[in-house]
Amino acid sequence: MLLGVAVIVSLLWLFYKHWVSVYSHWKKRNIPFYPAKFPYGSDPNLVKLKEYRGYTIDKMYHKFASHPMFGVFSLRSPMLIIKDPEIIQLVLTKEFSHFRDRGIIKLPEKDVLNHHLFHLGGEKWRALRMKLTPTFTSGKLKAMFPLFISCAESFSSLLLSKADSKIDIKELIGRFTADVICSCAFGLEMDVINHPDSKLRKIGMERIKLTFLTKLKIAVTRLFPALSALLKIRFTPLEDENYIINLVKNIVEQREKNGIVRNDFIDLLMQLKDKGNIGDDGQEFEKPFEMTLELMAAQCFVFFLAGFETSSSLQSFCLYELALHQDIQSRVIKEINEKIERNNGLTYKALHEMEYLDMVISETSRKYPTVPVLNRYCTKTVTLRSGQKIEQDTMIIIPVWSLHHDPQYFSDPDKFDPTRFSQENKDSIVPYTYLPFGEGPRMCIGMRFGLLQTKVGIVTLLQKFKVEPCENTKIPLVMGGISATTASNEPIIIKLIKRS
C-alpha cells in the first residue's frame, strides 16, 4: 500500500517537474518574461479564454512598457510577444519566409474543411495563396457588385420593418452579411435576411464560438499531438463537413450541367479547378496544383466564416460609434447623399468616392480590430539588430489590440476620431502599429471584399435611416471571450430612426 502511494507521488512529482521545466526558457535567453505557474503558465486566461484575449495580452503589454518584446507561457508552451514596430515589420514582411506559418495547431488530414488559407502553412499555403489572390482584384469585385446590391435591397426592406424601434444591430447586420456571402461564395439565393435560421448560418455561428470542448481540443492538440492523432480529434463535426461538401458538389454539378455563370467565388474556383489558374491573362502557374472538391469546399467555408462574422462585427461597431457621435454620423450621411446623387445611384464608383466613410471605417477597425492578436511561427532562427535571436520553433504573438490602443501611437486611444485617417494625418501613423488586416504576404486576402461588403451595408442603412443610442445601449462596450474574434460581451442595442 505504502509502496503504491510512493510510486504515484513520485510519478506526479516527475510529471510536475517535467511540466515546469520549460518555465526557465526565457530567462536562459535573457529575454524579459511574465512569470509562469503550474499548470496554466503566465495567465490562466491564455488557456481558458474566458476573458477577451486582447485584454489579457494588454495587461502584460503595459507591464513591459520599456521592452521591445517579452516572453510568456501558455500551459508549458513559450511564446514571444513582440511590441516593437520594427521587429513586427521584420516578422511580417522583411523576413517573412522564416515566419510565414501561423503554427496554431497541426490539422488532421481528415478534417478537410480546415485546410484553408487561414490554417495552411508551408508550400501548400504559398501555392494556394498564389492561385487565389486574383480572386479579389478590383475587376473581380466589380463583377460581383450586382450580387451585393441585390442583397442590399432585401436588407433595406428588413430595416423598414424595424424602423423607429430598438434593435440588436449585429443580429440584423449578420443576416445581411450572411446573405452576401451565401450569394458571392456559394451562389445561393438563401434569403438569410428573412430566414435567419438557415443551416449554413447556424453552422458558421457555431464554428466561431470558443466552447469548452473546442478549447479542450486545442489544448490536447498543442500538448499531445500524438494523442490527438490517435483520438482522431476534429474541429468541424462530420455532419457539418458533409453538408458543406455536398452543398459545393451540387452547385458545381448544376453549373457544369447547365452552363451557369454568376461571376462569384464558386465560378472562380471552378475555373481554377479546370484550368489551373484564375488570372485574366490565362497564364499557368509554375507548379501544378490540384483544386479538389474538398479543397474548394474548405475555401468556400472559410470565406463564409470570415466574411459574415468579421464584416458584421465591423459594421455593428461602426454604427454603434455613429450612434454615439451624431456629428460624425451627419457628415457621413451628407457624403453618402452627395456621392449617390452624383453617380445616379449606389454604384461601385460612388462607394469608392466616399473618403470620409473610409476614414470612419478605418477608425472603427483601429478601435475594434477584428482579431486581437496575430500569430506567426518561426521556422528558421533570425538575429535581430540588437543581437538577440528569435529562435526556430518560437511561437510569435503580435498584440494588435494593444498596438491600436497604445497612446504612444494613437493619442487618446479610447476616443473615436476618424480624422486620424485623413489624407493629412494618416501618413504620420507609425508603420506596423495599425494592423486590422495583418500586413505583408500573409495579410487578409479578402480585405477588399470585406471592406466593400461593410460599405454597402452601412450605406444601405444610412440612406434611409439614422441611428441613436437608447437606454439599453451599453457605454462603453466590453469585449467578450467566447468568440475567436473581437465581439461585444452583450448585444449592441441602438435605435433605428427613419429619416424624413
How many other C-beta atoms are found inside a 10 Å radius of the C-beta of residue 13?
Answer: 10
Burial code (b: 16+ CB inside 10 Å, e: under 16) for 90-115 equals bbbbebbebbbbbbebebbeebbbbb
Q: Are 184 and 148 in contact (CB under 8 A)?
A: yes
256: Cβ contacts below 8 Å, ≥ 6 apart: 270
* Distance from C-alpha of 200 to C-alpha of 340, rounded to nearest angstrom: 33
Q: Answer yes or no: is 444 a known binding residue.
A: yes
Amino acid at 414: D
* Distance from C-alpha of 60 to C-alpha of 42, rounded to nearest angstrom: 10
Do the strands 493-498 and 165-168 form a parallel or antiparallel pair, or are they unpaired? antiparallel
* Distance from C-alpha of 399 to C-alpha of 91, rounded to nearest angstrom: 13
Report which secondary-structure segment, H or E, holds 138.
helix 138-161
Distances (CA, A) of 184 to 3, 264, 266, 303: 67, 5, 8, 9
**Residue corresponding to grid cell 420593418:** 161
**Residue corresponding to grid cell 490539422:** 107
C-alpha cell, 129? 495563396
* Distance from C-alpha of 262 to C-alpha of 185, rounded to nearest angstrom: 10
Question: How would you class 142 by CB atoms within 10 Å of its CB: exposed for 0-12, middle for 13-18, buried for 19 or more?
Answer: middle
Q: Are 453 and 486 in contact (CB under 8 A)?
A: no
Instruction: Please state the residue numbers annotated as binding site.
Output: 444
Instruction: Please state the residue numbers annotated as binding site for heme.
Output: 444
